[in-house]
Amino acid sequence: MHRRDCRSFVLDGDNVRHGLCGDLGFSVHDRQENIRRIGEVAKLFMEGGMIVLTAFISPYRADRKRVREMVEDGDFLEIYCNAQIEVCEARDVKGMYKWARAGKIVELTGISLPYEVPEQHDLSVETGRLELDECVSQVMGELERRGVIDKPA
């Protein structure tokens, strides 16, 4: 998006957890609060004219719905990055799944806590079987189709 001169910002789970949400753990309540805070920050950026991409595990439908309701109709696109649990484990550079399987982490989405698959997502990207370039292309195509960004000249 930056290469296309789009005013955009990415909020990522790791960088937000170290600052804005550094006081939160991984309980159900803390996960809900994490997503609420992210939604509020994204809304502020959007009000400033930015396109905001949020990259978070948001396991509960109710939380995703709540954030969607924070912003104007059409300004929230839920992109389901679909990958089987085995793919998530293989990509896990922090070793969280390994620790959860060993019982060292008790609250991990997909292992001991549920992930509620989106029922009304705007786009589903099969990240477990597609190359990164194709995933990015699908997201950019959806943003172009909706008029969020211009098609390249």
Catalytic-labelled residue, pool 8, 27, 58, 137: 58
Q: Which are the contacts of 131, defined by CB distance < 8 A and separation ≥ 6?
A: none
Number of Cβ atoms within 10 Å of the Cβ of 10: 12
Find the helix or strand (DSSP H, E) in which 25 lies. none
Helices (H) and strands (E) in the chain, counts: 6, 4
Tokens 């950019």 correspond to 140
Q: Is 55 helix (H, G, I), strand (E, B) or coil?
A: strand
* Cα separation, 126 vs 108, whole angstroms: 21
Give the span between the Cα atoms of 127 and 118, in whole angstroms.
15
Partners of 124 in the β-ladder: 80
For residue 58, indicate whether it is catalytic: yes
List the catalytic residues: 58
